[in-house]
Structure 1
Amino acid sequence: MAPVSTLWLSAKVTLVDRTGTRVRADSMEVATAKIAGYSHQSAPLLALAEAHASGPGFTPGAWRLVEGHLAPAPEDGVPDYWLEYSDFHLAGADGRRLSPVTVDDLPRIGQSMATRSGQQITIDTHLPGVRTHRYVPATAPATADIEATASSGEAPGTDSVAGTVGLDAPAVAGLHPPASAAEAFATRTQSRRDALSPAHTGWRGALNSVLGLRLAPGAGEQRTRALNATVQKGLPGHRTAVVVNIKGGASKTTATYLLAATLGRVRGGMVLAWDNNENAGNLGDRAIPAAHSHTALDLLEHIEDFTTPEQADKLAGYIRPQGENKFHVLASQNEAGTKEVIDATAFRRMHAALRQFYQLAIVDTGNASTAPTWQAAVDVADVLVVAISNKEDAARRAFTTIDALRAEGYGEKLANGVAIITQPRTASTQRLAEIQNSLTGLVRSVVVVPYDRTLDDGGEIIWEALAPRTRQAYLQATAAVVEGM
């Protein structure tokens, strides 16, 4: 029998109670600890969220939390909590995190690793309702023990992977030939050894370059590669992220610019940073200048000229290319109060036109949640980004913004959002912790950006002048945004 190697699947957990309140936890252990800390008349009942219930890789079920442990229970009551999972990761048997994944990726990853390593691969998990997967090398007999069972405390089942989870042909390569051999090869999953090619950065990279060695990348470089892969993942059509905080000076514009720059440098393709301020915004002031001073208002006057992708060349007179950052800026009106602002209808017309030319848009917003153009931007957003400076007034306004979003019915969209906390020169560590704690359950991901003096003067943002840790923080933030798309 082939030797066995085990990988562990973990995820972040969102608890949704009967009132719709959402509480985020970094693991199932943390989630159960939170539940145990609440007051209940009886052992609380948990069930798999409807979003997962019919998905491959999941088995609907119910569980009782008794003395800190989950036990299978009949599905005949109203759950106290529904379980939602996100940010899945694989880790080795030693607990070392390997890579972010999706549940849909597991069959392809497991079968590829089994075939390449010649070992049986088990992908196990402690997440209730998430299946355990076992794969043997593709050269093994068709009668090999390949199982997919629910992680529910019950004995493993004996159904085949293809029959139980509805896997496609490449997941059981060697048992059923793929429809297209060329496509199967082009879309194959690289083994971990291939993914962890020799180090290119740090002292390991230097030794590899100078001495011709093949030292593996360190943990930092592995993390960067995983974040890059997330930023580069395929997306089903145009996606828009909208950056909000009704407080001026909360780093909205900086976040907009650097999210777009990270997308342009790491992902490539057509990326737009759009200043949708209801008055005069300053994204154009922070960007590389263009040979013209046209703004969104000028584009609006000629928006009828942009009805098909073939007219992309005409955009050159309105957008501002950002050089090596490989994205475009659309500036807001530059004469506050002297021209009619762009209303909701105009914003939607422009958005509908521009999405033909750009795969991704990062929209900066103004300081009035009541402005029609602000509301229209939030409405079209696929991901909301809450920009927060670690200052008392900016933080208070950020949570006022969050309250306004929830009051307008955007609580679910906000729960898929990202908060970017920017550290000022003198930052309160206590307030930072309070901000982070207060964001728990409100947004999906929180990223802290360290203080960077090169961003202090409000002038043109120069990527090459940024501190490496600032770039890394925005890489993490950009990956979190793309993950939500």
Structure 2
Amino acid sequence: MSLDTTPRAFATVRGGSASFTSPDGRVEPLAASPGADIRQVILQRAAAAARTAGIPVELVTDGDRGEHRIVVFADGTLSTDTAPEHVDAMPNPQSDPSQQGEEVNTEAPGIEGLASDLAPEPSNRRSFIAPTGDGAHAPTGWPSLLAKLGIGPSRAAVQRESDKHAVADQWAGCRTIAVVNGKGGVGKTMTTAILTAVFARHGGGNVLAWDNNDTRGTLGWRTEQGHYDTTVKDLLPAAEDLLTPGAGVSDIARFVHHQSVDRYDVLRSNPELLATDQRIAAEQFDLLMRVAARYYRLVIFDSGNDESADRWLRMIDSSHQLVVPTLAVPESAESAALLLDALRARDDRSRYLARNAVVIVTEAEPDRRLAARITSDFAEQVRGVVRIPFDPALKSGQLRLDALRPTTRTAWVHAAAMVARGL
């Protein structure tokens, strides 16, 4: 098969994750779920690209098992070309070297780093260890009685359990979520606090809500204050010490504010200072991000409204997932849509984040018709849209998960699950 006209995809593998560049130049992160092989994820993604292109795709990989070049067909079968088994370096995505290849099976030399061990020899021996299952508990009480009568759970109950499992998932390495909308007063702080609470309550601690705001960040006003009156500006001069090998896991506690019931931490900005007194440069943000990644498994950014600020742009570049909150009012929704348009035009990675964003539409007042229309309009633009019903507990005061109505809590768990499925 001539590779002159074969589309090329690229994958850089690092442990259990990879950066995948599709034939049309779009870059996206890939990650393997616990117990899965990242190489299998890469092969599946390359096969999907081949199906989209309608012809086989050449996959060039670089990682801990060397550099490899194979051809992936739409049905997942593989072939290798006649070029040297290991290429010297990752080729430029714009280059188009002319090389010849022939179809082979998945045991052919040159692809053992990706595929040779994807299908291990099956064993007929029965294990003495019983399967652990998916962590679900056997039903008790009325659910148990209904199960014995052959009456299964409702579709809503199944969805709730599925959402809880998704939110409780864990990942190798720190994951980051940016809550963004260019307009103030649209629910960014509320969304940050409630989403962080859901992830912390259902998935365990080590979750941080970071007020990444130059101007009047109010996340601290709507959450508990810890034992110290500290902000991100206090953390900056201590960042290098927190990254030393001798730093303890509890050393971060004097710079963040722990939420006693919802079990997450808050890194505050100072709403009493002018923006000129608390600007953070790109390199300072990167240093703070290194600290956050060392002490937390998940970071959720509450963003400001200045989309040109260094810390805002670095937040976008550092995020795995975007959440775009909007109130169910036209001005708020239009601001969200304009931001998504701007991100699609910014660069390939921002375009990927915008396409895979989750929009959260919160009913500012009990007007379901307008909320339904806004939800429907966003559904074609992003990966997912979730509608949050009106709840007076969201309007003012401290934000706590237990203060919400049961239907509101269920909606927020569903929103968090949709976000988690994109991580």
**Contact (CA 8 Å) 1:308, 1:356: kept in 2 or not?**
no
How far apart, CA to CA, are the structure 1 residues paired with 2:152 and 2:138? 5
**Contact (CA 8 Å) 2:262, 2:400: kept in 1 or not?**
no
How far apart, CA to CA, are the structure 2 residues paired with 1:272 and 1:387? 19
Q: 1:238 aligns with which of 159, 170, 174?
A: 174
- 1:327 corresponds in structure 2 to 264
**Contact (CA 8 Å) 1:369, 1:401: kept in 2 or not?**
no
Percent identical among aligned pairs is 30
**Contact (CA 8 Å) 2:179, 2:188: kept in 1 or not?**
yes
CA displacement 1:66-90 (0-9 Å, x = unmatched)? xxxxxxx9849x9xxxxxxxxxxxx
- Displacement of 1:286 in angstroms is 1.0
How far apart, CA to CA, are the structure 1 residues paired with 2:140 and 2:236? 46
Letter in 2 for 1:483: R
How far apart, CA to CA, are the structure 1 residues paired with 2:206 and 2:25? 41
Letter in 1 for 2:412: Y
- Displacement of 1:320 in angstroms is 0.8
- 1:263 corresponds in structure 2 to 199
- Structure 2 residue 190 is the aligned partner of structure 1 residue 254: yes
Change (3 A) 1:17 1:418: farther
Change (3 A) 1:215 1:60: same
**Contact (CA 8 Å) 1:274, 1:330: kept in 2 or not?**
yes
Change (3 A) 1:234 1:287: same
Change (3 A) 1:436 1:263: same
Change (3 A) 1:302 1:288: same
Map 1:238-387 onto structure 2 (within 5 A): 238-308=174-244, 310-337=247-274, 339-387=277-325
Letter in 2 for 1:393: E
Unaligned runs of 5+ in 1: 1-15, 21-50, 64-72, 79-127, 132-160
Say which is worse superposed, 272-281 or 401-410, in terms of deviation.
401-410
How far apart, CA to CA, are the structure 2 residues paired with 1:340 and 1:18? 40
How far apart, CA to CA, are the structure 2 residues paired with 1:262 and 1:162? 46
How far apart, CA to CA, are the structure 2 residues paired with 1:129 and 1:308? 48
Letter in 1 for 2:43: S
How far apart, CA to CA, are the structure 1 residues paired with 2:380 and 2:156? 28
- Structure 2 residue 212 is the aligned partner of structure 1 residue 223: no
- Displacement of 1:396 in angstroms is 1.2
Change (3 A) 1:213 1:437: closer
Letter in 2 for 1:353: V
- 2:34 corresponds in structure 1 to none
- 1:54 corresponds in structure 2 to 43
Q: 1:435 aligns with which of 358, 374, 377?
A: 374
- 1:35 corresponds in structure 2 to none
**Contact (CA 8 Å) 1:421, 1:446: kept in 2 or not?**
yes
How far apart, CA to CA, are the structure 1 residues paired with 2:231 and 2:386? 31
How far apart, CA to CA, are the structure 1 residues paired with 2:421 and 2:376? 22
- Displacement of 1:298 in angstroms is 1.0
- Displacement of 1:435 in angstroms is 2.5
For normalisation by structure 1, the TM-score amounts to 0.61
- 1:389 corresponds in structure 2 to 327
RMSD: 3.8
Q: 3-state SS of the aligned residue for 2:352?
A: helix
Letter in 1 for 2:249: A
- 2:393 corresponds in structure 1 to 454
How far apart, CA to CA, are the structure 1 residues paired with 2:50 and 2:227? 61
- Displacement of 1:442 in angstroms is 2.9
- 1:151 corresponds in structure 2 to none
Change (3 A) 1:173 1:443: same
How far apart, CA to CA, are the structure 2 residues paired with 1:362 and 1:445? 18
Change (3 A) 1:441 1:340: same
Unaligned runs of 5+ in 2: 1-21, 27-39, 58-72, 77-105, 109-114
How far apart, CA to CA, are the structure 2 residues paired with 1:434 and 1:274? 32
**Contact (CA 8 Å) 1:416, 1:444: kept in 2 or not?**
yes
May I ask how many residue pairs the two structures share in their alignment? 336
Map 1:420-431 onto structure 2 (within 5 A): 420-427=360-367, 429=369, 431=370
Letter in 1 for 2:295: F
- 2:356 corresponds in structure 1 to 416
**Contact (CA 8 Å) 1:240, 1:360: kept in 2 or not?**
yes
- Displacement of 1:472 in angstroms is 1.0
**Contact (CA 8 Å) 2:191, 2:325: kept in 1 or not?**
yes
CA displacement 1:177-231 (0-9 Å, x = unmatched)? 69xx68xx58x473xxx87754458x536x68xxx99975443332222112112
Map 1:168-207 onto structure 2 (within 5 A): 174-175=123-124, 185=129, 188=131, 190=133, 197-199=137-139, 204=143
Q: 3-state SS of the aligned residue for 1:253?
A: helix
Say which is worse superposed, 309-318 or 328-337, in terms of deviation.
309-318
- Displacement of 1:462 in angstroms is 2.4
Q: 3-state SS of the aligned residue for 1:325?
A: coil
- Displacement of 1:349 in angstroms is 0.9
How far apart, CA to CA, are the structure 1 residues paired with 2:285 and 2:25? 34
Q: Larger relative CO (CA 8 A, sep 6+): 1 or 2?
A: 2
Change (3 A) 1:17 1:395: farther
Letter in 2 for 1:400: L
Change (3 A) 1:477 1:167: farther
Q: 3-state SS of the aligned residue for 1:55?
A: helix
Letter in 1 for 2:326: I
- Displacement of 1:333 in angstroms is 1.8
Letter in 2 for 1:241: I
Map 1:72-91 onto structure 2 (within 5 A): 75=55
How far apart, CA to CA, are the structure 2 residues paired with 1:173 and 1:234? 29
- Structure 2 residue 381 is the aligned partner of structure 1 residue 445: no
CA displacement 1:216-265 (0-9 Å, x = unmatched)? 54433322221121122231211000100011111111111111111111
How far apart, CA to CA, are the structure 1 residues paired with 2:269 and 2:294? 20
For normalisation by structure 2, the TM-score amounts to 0.69
